[in-house]
């Protein structure tokens, strides 16, 4: 009985892990390996160039669940905290990242523009993309 | 045109602008400015009105009306901020009533930034002295309370006209070094808390996830000597910020070449976000200004309502150990 319970618990944890959605931050092929802190700094517009390449972070629309997951797991900031952050940045002369309509348009942009970064659903990753960070929801 | 008409028109234009921006059918987001056509140029601004009730005195004030413009690209960018400061101040003290108006349009900031590479940025012009946290974003709508901590305006010059070289490194954590240099006349010195012709400073910052700390130290020279022209300061600051609360502290000291002028000035502040719109603030402050033979310890309790983040309705009450300094402050401010 005890072993069955442990097995059941293990199966539940495993299934939760398996069905958890996986996402990735992708970048143009020319982009070097980045640390999580650097990705965060690029998206918060604290870091604008790496190896003399201008970084172009791309967002999805504000209500996109993938963007919400990115902000929670990668930026570690709530939507409201980001609102206050970008209001302060407006006063300091910085703009938030450009928002794209869809993952497809973000993918096309990343493939064609040096320094571009975006986040997508892991199932959309292909061999042409440079994956620099992965996370699960 | 009379000053009254001018003020009325300025306020009316401002209200019209804010309401147009609020209801504009575009990608405009209140608090993030407006792009000028397709150019990499943005405009915006802010305003603030407040009321203070202190002892027998009541003060009504149009504190700030300011216009911002900035833009550029990732290599070169500019910032311009023009401001009417204390455009209208009505003070009522018993039966005495005074009205003061300052219609001078001040240059609060004007600078050019050159991002040399991923680590270095050079800024030239008039800029907020990068000391502590409060001084970087000190406008009413963006700060937690209507009042500024004493330490943010008695220890160091709030503005510097000259060069600012910044070094930043982002890997496992973020490190930064700031160099401040002014040698010569300042732009719109009248707006600064100290009229200065020299300012040299250095600052170091460290940031890891939600925690940031900074240390700054420097020297400045006052244009007109009161006691002593040559002043030295040092300040340490730390901040821990999460989605639901922020704890922030700054502590500094100042001395001249002859004596300690401010033994200490500092604050410890906590802000708790009950919801995204309702914020509670508590701040403890203390200072010992030996030059003016003035010291105080006081506690501030505040509440801020933000129907949207760039709109703030604030209230605070201050309890002082100094006689007749307790006060109530209310304000309304908008960033657009």
Model confidence pLDDT, tens digit, residues B111-130: 999 999 989 999 999 999 99
CB contact under 8 A, B209 and A96: no
Q: Decide if A38 and B68 are in contact by the 8 Å CB cutoff.
A: no
- Residue B18: band (very low, low, confident or very high) from pLDDT cuts 50, 70, 90: low
Which ipTM did the prediction report? 0.88
SS3 for chain B is CCHHHHHHHHHHHHHHHHHHHHHCCCCCCCCCCEECCCCCEEEEEEEEEEEEEECCEEEEEEEEEEEEEEEECCCEEEEEEEEEEEEEEEEEECCEEEEECCCCEEEEEEEEEEECCCCEEEEEEEEECCCCCHHHHCCHHHCCCCCCCCHHHHCCCCEEEEEEEEEEEECCCEEEEEEEEEECCCCCHHHCCCCEEEEEEEEEEEEECCEEEEEEEEEEEECCCCCCCEEEEEEEEEEEECCCEEEEEEEEEEEECCCEEEEEEEEEEEEEECCCCEEEEEEEEEEEECCCCEEEEEEEEEEEECCCCCEEEEEEEEEECCCCCCEEEEEEEEEC
Q: Is pLDDT of A42 > 80?
A: yes
The domains located in chain A, with CATH, are: 21-136 (3.40.190.10)
Q: What is the mean pLDDT of residues B184-197?
A: 91
Mean pLDDT in residue range B48-71:
95
Tell me if A46 and B115 make a contact (CB, 8 A cut-off).
no
Residues in A closer than 8 angstroms to B68, CB to CB, are 90-91, 93
Q: What structural domains and CATH numbers belong to chain B?
A: 3-335 (2.40.160.10)
Which residue in chain A is spatially nearest to B30 when comparing CA positions?
A87
What residues of chain A have any CB closer than 8 angstroms to a CB in chain B?
35, 37-38, 40-41, 46-52, 54-55, 76-78, 80-81, 83-84, 86-88, 90-93, 95-96
pLDDT band for position B2 (cuts 50, 70, 90) = very low
Structure-block tokens of residue B28? 């405009």
Whole-number pLDDT of residue A5: 62
Q: What digits encode the pLDDT tens for the residues B155-170?
A: 999 999 999 999 999 9
Angle at A87 between CA A121 and CA B177, to 5 degrees: 90
pLDDT of residue B25: 44
pLDDT value for A33? 87
pLDDT bin (cut points 50, 70, 90) of residue B94 is confident
User: Region A29-41: what's the mean pLDDT?
Assistant: 90
Give how far A50 is from chain B: nearest CA, Å: 5
Strand order in the sheet with A130-136: A98-100, A56-60, A116-121, A22-27, A130-136
Nearest to A37 among B170, B210, B310 (CB): B170
Distance CA B27, CA A45 (A): 20
In this prediction, residues A86-93 reach a mean pLDDT of 94
Cβ separation A49–B170 shorter than 8 A = no
Which pLDDT value is given to residue B7?
A: 47
At residue B3, the pLDDT reads: 43
Q: For residue B143, what pLDDT band results from cuts at 50, 70 and 90?
A: very high
pLDDT of residue B194: 94
Q: What average pLDDT score do residues B247-261 get?
A: 96
Q: Kindly list the residues from chain B whose CB atom is less than 8 angstroms away from the CB atom of residue A93.
A: 68, 70-71, 77-79, 113
Residue A23 has pLDDT above 90, yes or no: yes
Q: Which tokens belong to A119?
A: 């986040």
Q: Do B273 and A46 touch (CB under 8 A)?
A: no
How far is B142 from chain A, CA to nearest CA, in Å? 7
With CB atoms and an 8 Å threshold, state whether A95 touches B173.
no
Q: In the prediction, which pLDDT does B72 show?
A: 94
Residue A126 pLDDT = 81
CB–CB of B169/B79 below 8 Å?
no
Looking at every residue in chain A, the average pLDDT score rounds to 87
Q: Could you count the other beta carbons within 10 Å of the beta carbon of residue A15?
A: 10
Closest approach of A7 to chain B, Cα-based (Å): 37
Collect all residues from B whose CB is shorter than 8 A from any CB in A: 31-33, 42, 44, 46, 68, 70-71, 73-75, 77-79, 113, 115, 117-118, 136-137, 139, 141-142, 168, 170-174, 209-210, 241, 243, 273, 276, 309-310, 335
Nearest-CA residue of chain B relative to A42? B170
pLDDT (0 to 100) of residue B228: 84
Q: Which of A37, A90, A93 faces B77 most closely, judged by CB atoms?
A: A93
Chain A partners within 8 Å of B168 (Cβ):
46-47
Choose the closest CB to B243 out of A41, A55, A81: A81
Which whole number is the average pLDDT over B264-284? 97
Report percent pLDDT > 70 for chain A: 85
pLDDT reading at B58 higher than 50: yes
CB atoms under 10 Å from CB of B69, counted, come to 18
User: Measured between alpha carbons, how far is residue A73 from residues A22, A36, A78, B204, B213 in Å?
Assistant: 11, 10, 10, 28, 23
pLDDT tens readout for residues A110-120:
999 999 999 99
pLDDT digits (tens, 9 = 90+) for B25-56: 456 888 889 999 999 999 999 999 999 999 88
Q: Is the pLDDT of residue A9 over 80?
A: no
Mutate to test the interface with A, among B128, B166, B309, B310 (most CBs of A within 10 A): B309
Contact B65, B50 (CB under 8 A): no
Min Cα separation B116/chain A (Å): 9
Cβ pair B210:A76 closer than 8 A: yes
Mutation to test the B interface, candidates A42, A76, A90, most B Cβ within 10 Å: A90
> What average pLDDT does this structure show over B237-256?
97
Spatial neighbors of A25 by CB under 8 A, at least 6 apart, are A39, A70, A74, A117, A118, A119, A131, A132, A133, A134
Instruction: Name chain A contacts of B28, Cβ cutoff 8 Å.
Output: none
Q: Average pLDDT of chain B?
A: 91
The reported pLDDT for the residue numbered B93 is 92
Do B46 and A37 count as a contact with CB atoms less than 8 A apart?
Answer: no
């Amino acid at each position: 009985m005890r072993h069955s319970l442990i097995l059941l618990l293990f199966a539940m944890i495993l299934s939760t892990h398996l069905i958890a959605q996986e996402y990735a931050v992708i970048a143009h092929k020319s982009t070097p390996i980045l640390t999580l802190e650097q990705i965060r700094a690029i998206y918060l517009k604290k870091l604008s160039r790496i190896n003399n390449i201008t970084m172009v972070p791309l967002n999805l629309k504000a209500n996109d669940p993938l963007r919400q997951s990115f902000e929670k797991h990668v930026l570690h900031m709530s939507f409201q905290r980001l609102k206050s952050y970008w209001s302060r940045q407006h006063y300091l002369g910085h703009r938030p990242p450009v928002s794209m309509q869809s993952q497809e348009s973000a993918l096309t942009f990343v493939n064609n523009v040096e320094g571009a970064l975006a986040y997508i659903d892991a199932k959309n990753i292909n061999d042409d993309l440079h994956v620099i960070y992965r996370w699960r929801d | 045109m009379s000053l009254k008409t001018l003020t009325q028109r300025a306020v009316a234009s401002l209200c019209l602008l804010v309401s147009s921006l609020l209801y504009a059918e575009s990608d405009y987001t209140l608090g993030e400015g407006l792009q000028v056509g397709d150019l990499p140029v943005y405009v915006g601004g802010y305003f603030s009105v407040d009321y203070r009730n202190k002892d027998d005195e009541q003060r009504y004030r149009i504190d700030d009306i300011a216009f911002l413009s900035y833009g550029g690209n990732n290599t070169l960018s500019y910032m311009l901020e023009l401001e009417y400061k204390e455009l209208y101040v009505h003070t009522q003290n018993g039966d005495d009533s005074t009205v003061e108006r300052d219609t001078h349009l001040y240059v609060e900031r004007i600078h050019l930034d050159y991002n040399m590479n991923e680590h270095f940025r050079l800024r030239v012009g008039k800029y907020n002295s990068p000391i502590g946290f409060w001084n970087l974003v000190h406008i009413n709508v963006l700060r937690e309370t209507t009042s500024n901590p004493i330490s943010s305006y008695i220890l160091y010059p709030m503005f510097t006209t000259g060069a600012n070289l910044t070094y930043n490194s982002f890997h496992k954590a973020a490190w930064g070094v700031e160099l401040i240099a002014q040698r010569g006349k300042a732009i719109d010195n009248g707006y600064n808390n100290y009229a200065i012709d020299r300012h040299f400073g250095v600052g170091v910052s460290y940031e890891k996830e939600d925690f940031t700390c900074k240390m700054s130290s420097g020297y400045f020279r006052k244009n007109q000597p009161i006691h002593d022209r040559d002043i030295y300061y040092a300040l340490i600051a730390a901040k821990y910020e999460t989605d639901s609360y922020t704890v922030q502290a700054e502590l500094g000291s100042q001395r001249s070449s002859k004596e300690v002028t401010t033994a200490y000035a500092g604050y410890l502040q906590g802000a708790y976000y009950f919801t995204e719109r309702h914020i509670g603030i508590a701040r403890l402050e203390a200072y010992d200004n030996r030059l003016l033979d003035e010291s105080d310890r006081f506690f501030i309790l505040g509440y801020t309502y933000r129907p949207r983040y760039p709109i703030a309705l604030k209230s605070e009450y201050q309890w002082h150990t100094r006689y007749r300094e307790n006060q109530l402050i209310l304000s309304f401010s908008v960033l657009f």
